[in-house]
Amino acid sequence: MTGPYDDIINLPHPTSPKHPRMPRTTRAAQFAPFAALTGYNEAIRETSRLTDEQLDLDDTMKASLNEKLLLIKERLLAKPKISITFFVPDTKKAGGAYKTTTGYIKKLQEYERQLIMSDDTVISIDTIIEIQGKLFDSQNHSL
């Protein structure tokens, strides 16, 4: 059989005297996938990330929280250990997440409606949904 490449089919592979042959691993890397759209994967991940909506508390829950805050205010110098669950708005999209922090309240700023915890976490009173601690046990105080 004769074909169009019979004249070169049995020749040795050409090798450049100036450029050494590329190793297989390096040669394979040039065909690896690449990110044609920079930031696309991060945008997809951000879009698929779920956030929670902030709950609206009913009057009973608000009254209970107010009583607990008054008790904390009365005993602020005793530094009772408490856990506060509050809403943290998301910086990139609507909604946010609920976070719980435990410690003692370093400062209660009534005018700004903020609590400053022992670890310097600043909590808006309006975002609090739950306060727990031994201070609120039925033996210490009935709500």
In order, the DSSP letters of 70-122 are: HHHHHTGGG---EEEEEEEE-SSSS-EEEEEEEE-EEEEETTTTEEEETT--E
Per residue in 30-44, pLDDT tens? 777 766 777 888 888
pLDDT > 90 fraction of the chain, expressed in percent and rounded: 43
% helix, strand, coil for the chain, step of 5: 30, 25, 50
pLDDT of residue 143: 44
The pLDDT of residue 1 is above 70: no
pLDDT of residue 86: 96
Residues 6+ apart with CB under 8 A from 127: 54, 86, 87, 88
The pLDDT of residue 117 is above 60: yes
* pTM of the predicted structure, to 2 decimals: 0.65
**What confidence tier does 132 reach under pLDDT thresholds 50, 70, 90?**
very high
Looking at the domain that runs over 59-136, which CATH code has it been given?
Answer: 2.30.30
pLDDT of residue 35: 65
Mean pLDDT of all residues belonging to the chain: 86
Per residue in 57-116, pLDDT tens? 999 999 999 999 999 999 989 999 999 999 999 888 888 999 999 999 999 998 999 999
d(CA 15, CA 12): 9
pLDDT of residue 119: 92
